[in-house]
Each structure stands twice: as structure tokens, then as C-alpha cells.
Amino acid sequence: MSTAPAVESSSRRPPPRSFGEVVRQLGPGLIISAVIVGSGELIVTPKLGAEEGFKLLWFIVLGCLLKVFVQIELGRHAVLRGQSTLASLNTLPGPRAIVSWVLWLWLAMYLSLVFQVAGMVGGVARVFALGGMTLSINWLAVLIGGGTAVLLVIGRYRLVENLSTLFVALFTLATLVAVGLLQQTGFAVTAGQLASGFTFGLPNRLVTAFAAFGIIGVGASELIYYPYWCLEKGYALNVGPDDGTAEWRENARGWLKIMRVDAWVSFVLYTTTTLAFYLLGAAILHAKQVQVENARMIETLSLMYREVFGEWSLWMFLVGAFAVLYSTIFGATASNARLAVDALGLWGVKRYRDGAERLRWLKYACVALPVAFTTVFILVGAPVSLVFIGAVGQGLMLPFLSGAAIYYHYTNPHRDLRAGRVSLTCLIVASLLMTALGMYQVGSEVLRLLGS
């Protein structure tokens, strides 16, 4: 069943014409890019830089770029068909066991996200501990999970989102400043180091790079949730339902153009941020030969600030790390709760009588998910490893999402609203590269296990 809101034809709005109007309408992608600095950028990207130095700069750029073509096609399908991602995936051809085979793959990825969020909870708990809170890490985790559930149930999403966006933006700005100030330290980046980042080499073991690929920029989880933004925050509402008229097609064409601008502007923003974190990891952590490990994750990451700004900046880093990680925990819990409610309907576990009952189950999910990820952290207690589980899960899901995007293109009944030839070629190339990388990762791990 689709979770798209009912869209009345009276809600149809013409696309903006002036530059100022276009800027005001840029919404879903920019919202995502505003909070896109999460565990991938803060933890996995610097870890990759610490392990490999500068040589994977090209990989970071490519990892951010490839997913934009998938994002745009998923958004196009949502706008033209009025379907959420899960409902759309359930229409894909192939074997079915209650739901489409692709949804079973999504379910596996969804479960891996519980581990990823659990790792972020551990990171926030460590931030509090370094900040002077004397409770044990496990009790701090309980407070973080419990607080998240309470805030979501009582409806404080907007307040937390606004505060988080402000602090994450300030932390991102400070990170960009840190990259600029690197040139005044003993970790100055040379032209030769930057050039070495585009020699297109791969590491001996791909696991960290693959985890980064799955989680940086717009990860698989963001790709799945992006159509919800398109449905509920403007594009689909502005386009209205398909009434078969030339006026509707022209209106849709205009809003799809705004959506593409939205996606590409956000790409520039989050790619710049991701590169900043990678450069700090490569320039400082790799040079100092320190690795981002479970036991001292936050302390090690804070070196990226302390070596540039001085020891006083530990507090600035702790505030920024809290904002980044907690905003991701909060946003992921809200998004994943919504997906859980939709999935229960698709699997036939729950039939909702009305919107009030759906909202009640959404609140149940907002409690159940924090209980789940807090419990996982307490049982495992390895934040970096937990984040990696979710990152790898997202990476393995990407080829299937890109394949779905190609299927949506060719089944789009409006040929004049399909992606252009160049965009389609880029989408197919992106899908092939994602598939090749996924197969390489799986194959290399299988060979490693067989050889051990």
C-alpha cells in the first residue's frame, strides 16, 4: 500500500520562474544535505583517510556522484506515480513471498541500520563521558535512547531538527576552516598528495572503502527516504495527480527540473563536506599513524581539530560531534519508524483503519527502535564496528536501488518526462559500477574467509 498523501488537483502549483523563486523552492535535497554530515562523514570517511592517506580522493568523489543519478530517478518516479519507495519496490518483477524479493533485501539492510544507529549512540555516550558526565557508558546510552523516544512521541521533531541543523552547519563550517588552516601546520597538504588521490588505485582490502561508499553523501537509507520528502514536502503536491492533460505534463516537467537542481546543489554541498573530513583524516590521522578504533573513537577523531586549532578545540569538537551524531540518530529513528509502519502494512502484519491508528503505531515504532539500538549497543559496545555493519548493508543495497531506478525509467508511461539520453547513460553506468563494486566486496571477503 502506498503511503503517499492524498494529493488534490487544487494543490497544483506552477513551477517557479525567477532565480529567487527557484532558490526558495529548493527543499528536500537541501534538507538532506543540511543534515547529511553523519556517521559516514564523521567516522567512516576519516577512518578511510587514516588507513589509506590521500590515494582514495577519487573514490570519495565518485561515491558521492554515482548516487545522484539514482536519487533523481527515484524522485522522478515518486513525483509522477505518487508512490513511496517501499510501495514502488513492491511492484518490481521477480519472485514474491508475501512481498517482492527486493523488499526482503531492503529488510536485511533495514536491520543493519539498527546496528549503525547503535554505534552512533555509543559515540554520543562517549562524547558525554569526555565532557565530564560520570555515569557509565551504558547508562548514558540508555538516557540517549530514552530521550530520543520521548522527544519523538511528544512531537518535538521540528525543534530538534532546527537546532541540529544549526549546530551541524556550524560544525561543518569549522571543519572547512580546519582544512584551510592545515596549510599553516606541519600537516600541510601538497600538490603531489592531492595528485596521488586521483591515480585510481584501490586498497588491498576494500571493506573500509566499501563502507564509506555505502554511507557517504546520499546513502541507501537516504535514497529510500528521499521520495517521501518529494511526496510530502512539495514536488508531488505541487504537481498534483496525473489527469492526462498537457497542462499536467508541463507542470510536472517544470517541477522535475527544480528537483534536479535541488539534487545537484545538495551534491556540491555534501561532497565538499565529505572531502573536508577525508582530507583531515588523510593529512593528520594517516601522518600520525593512528587508526579510528572502537575504544578511542572520539578521542582519535578529535585530533583532526586539536592539531589545527589547539587543545582548546576538544570542546568544540565534542559539541559538533554530538550535534552530528545525535541529529542522525534522531532523524534516522523518525524516518525508520515511518518505514517500519509502512512495512507492517505491506507485509500484511497490520491493517490500519485510519490515519489515527497509523499515527499510534508510528509512536510505537518511535519507542521500539530506540529500545532496539540501545540494547544492541549495550550488548556489543563497539561503536565503529556497529557503524560499519550498517554502512556495508547500505552499500550492498545500492545496486538493487539503481536497478530499480532503471526499471522505473523504462516503465514510465510519459516518454517525454523520462530522463534524457545523457542522464540515462550515467544512471546505467552508475548501476554497473555499484554492482561491480558490490560483487568485488563480496568476492574478496569470501576469498579471505576461505583462505583463513
Phi-psi region of 4 (alpha: psi -120 to 50; beta: other; left: phi over 0): beta
CA atoms within 13 A on the CB side of 106: 28
Question: Average pLDDT of 57-67?
Answer: 93
270 domain-assigned? yes
For the stretch 341-354, pLDDT in tens is: 999 999 999 898 88
Please report, for the domain that includes residue 262, its CATH number: 1.20.1740.10
Q: What is the pLDDT of residue 11?
A: 58
Question: Average pLDDT of 145-166?
Answer: 86
- In angstroms, the CA 405 to CA 431 distance is 9
214 domain-assigned? yes
Q: Please tell me the pTM assigned to this model.
A: 0.89
Which residues touch 297 (CB under 8 Å, ≥6 apart)?
43, 122, 123, 126, 383, 384
Q: What is the pLDDT of residue 5?
A: 40
Q: What is the pLDDT of residue 6?
A: 38
Q: What is the pLDDT of residue 7?
A: 42
Instruction: Report H helices in 154-245.
Output: 157-181, 191-196, 207-215, 220-232, 235-239
Q: What is the pLDDT of residue 148?
A: 95
Place of cell 563480496: 442
429 domain-assigned? yes
Q: What is the pLDDT of residue 31?
A: 45
- Strand (E) or helix (H) holding 99: strand 99-100
- In angstroms, the CA 449 to CA 427 distance is 33
Find the domain containing 185 and state its range: 15-451
Is residue 148 a contact partner of residue 333, using CB atoms and an 8 Å limit? yes
CA atoms within 13 A on the CB side of 406: 14
Q: What is the pLDDT of residue 169?
A: 85
- CA distances (Å), 305 to each of 283, 313, 316, in order? 12, 6, 8
242 domain-assigned? yes
Q: What is the pLDDT of residue 207?
A: 87
3 domain-assigned? no
Average pLDDT, the chain: 87
Model confidence band, residue 29 (pLDDT cutoffs 50, 70, 90): very low
For the stretch 191-226, pLDDT in tens is: 999 999 999 888 877 888 999 998 888 888 989 988
Q: What is the pLDDT of residue 91?
A: 93
Share of the chain above pLDDT 90, in %: 60
Q: What is the pLDDT of residue 229?
A: 79
Share of the chain above pLDDT 70, in %: 91
* Higher local confidence (pLDDT), 122 or 27: 122
Q: What is the pLDDT of residue 19?
A: 47
* Higher local confidence (pLDDT), 83 or 402: 402
Number of domains in the chain: 1
- CA distances (Å), 185 to each of 1, 141, 250, 309, 315, in order? 57, 37, 55, 10, 20
For 233, the 3-state DSSP assignment is coil
* Higher local confidence (pLDDT), 167 or 337: 337
114 domain-assigned? yes
* Higher local confidence (pLDDT), 370 or 264: 370
DSSP 196-221: HTTS----SS-HHHHHHHHHSSS-HH
Does residue 12 surpass a pLDDT of 70?
no
Q: What is the pLDDT of residue 139?
A: 97
Model confidence band, residue 76 (pLDDT cutoffs 50, 70, 90): very high
Number of other CB atoms surrounding residue 355 within 10 Å: 9
Does residue 185 surpass a pLDDT of 90?
yes
For 348, the 3-state DSSP assignment is coil
432 domain-assigned? yes
- In angstroms, the CA 375 to CA 165 distance is 27
- CA distances (Å), 408 to each of 65, 66, 101, 430, 438, in order? 20, 17, 17, 15, 22
303 domain-assigned? yes
Number of other CB atoms surrounding residue 181 within 10 Å: 14
Question: Average pLDDT of 187-191?
Answer: 94
Span between the terminal Cα atoms of the chain, in Å: 46
